[in-house]
Structure 1
Amino acid sequence: MDLSITHMILSAGPMVKFVMLVLLVFSVSSWTIVLMKWALLRNIRRDSEDFLDSFWGSPNLNEAYKEVNQFPYSSEAAVFSAGFTELQKITKIQSSKEESNQPLGMQMAAMDNLKRAVRKAETQKFNEFNKALPFLATTGSASPFIGLFGTVWGIMTSFHQIGQQGSASLAVVAPGISEALVVTAAGLFVAIPAVVTFNYFSHKFDQADAAAQHFTTDFLNLIERDLLGRSK
């Protein structure tokens, strides 16, 4: 009696094979997402560090904006790009009016538009980073139950064979029980890496979002100080 894992899978019933196929699809999809997110996280770190060095080293916002497209994975670059674009629109509207100096209240009202623009860019980037992560959470929560279904089905098959052969010897019970346990192990094998990587990437992307929020605060403070200086 061959009780190797490969033999047990190949000799399993149609339902158990189907469950194993479903788990295989979940596993391949999960590891594909993990590799993609790993590369994305590396690019985020690189682009964010390079953009911040470029931004704080630039003499003015115009010079910083010229290089912003070089950092497509940086949340800070996306926030600055959206904020600078909105700032240009505000400046164009204010310069088209007759008064050279706008009241402080109007300038601060324009800041509300700027804040909404940068917050929207920040949220969009955060959602982009977390795209497909829910699949890892779904895999982590569903795979053990899918494996459990295969286990229950395998045990039911074993009891059916016992009833047909009228014997409960180890030679009759062992193959079906072994198949069932293999499916359980497969479900855990798929679920555990998915849960671990989901928590890891969620934490790292939360850190990236927090860093973007810090930059957003610094950027808005910089613009507000400039507006207050113009109003005097």
Structure 2
Amino acid sequence: MVVSLGATGDAAGLGSSREPPCYHTFDSLRGPCYSVASRCPSGALRCSEASLRTLGFFVLALLQAQGESADGALGGDIVGLVARSGPLFRVILLILILFSIASWAIVLHKVWQYRLVEAHTARFRDVFRRSNKFSEVQSVCGSLSRSPLVGIFQTGYAELNAQLRHGGDAESQPEGAGVRPTLSSIDALDRALQRAATVEVNRIEAQVGFLATTASITPFIGLFGTVWGIMGAFQGIGETGSTSLGVVAPGIAEALLATAAGLFAAIPAVYFYNHLTHRVKLFVSEMDDFALEFLNIAERNFS
């Protein structure tokens, strides 16, 4: 039912200066909806204010209804969203969580391991450069086993003793030796040091590659969950025939949660992979320097 309100002009319409009529429409089921002014110069402002008020009430009511639907669909928390999700989404989320936990465990272990490596390497290098005999260096190797230089030294020391021609050993430097022992092959000693360095590098780099795997795989797993969630949202639209927020919100929320979980697992893995790889390169440089120093001592004193 529509009711017309407002002042009318003169019945005869003869030269009257009265304002033209303003009409407000009223829907008996939904309340005031809109207003129309027909050439109301002085009353247009009042008509526009009434229109804005009625339109604003309608928009606020619509937003409130949609907000209540969204709150009911999302449940207000992530736990409720996961509880209402499908089994495939839960499997995807579980895989990402396992990748993240494993990555953080490796990161914490490697940070602790590399701190010990640095400390033991600094102490071993100091002992090596202050000792006059290789036997003195060998005596501290057991307490500084975390250093990769220890493995290189022990391999080089064993090869050095095996090559001495006069049945002696490399216990002392030539300054204190009466008979100068000689090496049969400096190249063989070099190869032995290279093999030892390779073993130590593999030991230090162990499990670091898993961080690269996590960084490369988890974003795609999260992307798969995103696509699956969007497909669920469109399926809900097709089944209900409605595009309201309450219909599409659960699927979109699952999609965004899968993306966030993938990034949460990948971003720390990328950072710590680069960080740990850089530290491994520093250790490799120290091992190369030590191997060259060992070779120089062997060549100068035993060849």
TM norm structure 1: 0.90
Matched, 1:131 2:206: yes
Mapped to 1, the partners of 2:144 and 2:198 lie a distance apart of 17
Deviations 1:150-187 (A, max 9, x none): 01011111111111111111110011101110110110
Structure 2 contact 229–252 (Cα < 8 Å) conserved:
yes
Q: What's the offset of the Cα at 1:227?
A: 2.2
Matched, 1:58 2:131: yes
2:113 pairs with 40, 44, 62, which one? 40
Instruction: Determine the structure 2 residue equivalent to 1:121.
Output: 196
Mapping of residues 16-31 of structure 1, within 5 Å = 16-31=89-104
Q: What's the offset of the Cα at 1:3?
A: 3.6
1:210 pairs with 279, 285, 291, which one? 285
Deviations 1:113-134 (A, max 9, x none): 1111111111110111111111
Deviations 1:76-95 (A, max 9, x none): 1111111001111112xx12
Mapped to 1, the partners of 2:231 and 2:180 lie a distance apart of 83
Instruction: Determine the structure 1 residue equivalent to 2:17.
Output: none
Which gives a bigger RCO, structure 1 or 2 (Cα 8 Å, sep 6+)? 1
Structure 1 contact 8–175 (Cα < 8 Å) conserved:
yes
Instruction: Determine the structure 1 residue equivalent to 2:159.
Output: 86
Of Structure 1 and Structure 2, the greater helix share is in 1
Q: What's the offset of the Cα at 1:61?
A: 1.0
Instruction: Determine the structure 2 residue equivalent to 1:188.
Output: 263
Instruction: Determine the structure 1 residue equivalent to 2:231.
Output: 156
Structure 1 contact 158–176 (Cα < 8 Å) conserved:
yes
Change (3 A) 1:33 1:207: same
Q: What's the offset of the Cα at 1:101?
A: 7.8
2:300 pairs with 225, 228, 231, which one? 225
Counterpart AA for 1:7: G
Q: What's the offset of the Cα at 1:53?
A: 1.2
Instruction: Determine the structure 2 residue equivalent to 1:73.
Output: 146
How well do the aligned residues superpose, as a CA RMSD in angstroms? 1.7
Counterpart AA for 1:164: E
Equivalent pairs counted in the alignment come to 220
Structure 1 contact 144–191 (Cα < 8 Å) conserved:
yes
Mapped to 1, the partners of 2:125 and 2:249 lie a distance apart of 62
Matched, 1:14 2:100: no
1:197 pairs with 257, 269, 272, which one? 272
Change (3 A) 1:220 1:69: same
SS in 2 for 1:59: coil
Mapped to 2, the partners of 1:60 and 1:150 lie a distance apart of 63
Structure 1 contact 144–187 (Cα < 8 Å) conserved:
yes
TM norm structure 2: 0.70
Change (3 A) 1:222 1:134: same
Asked which structure has the greater CA Rg, the reply is: 2
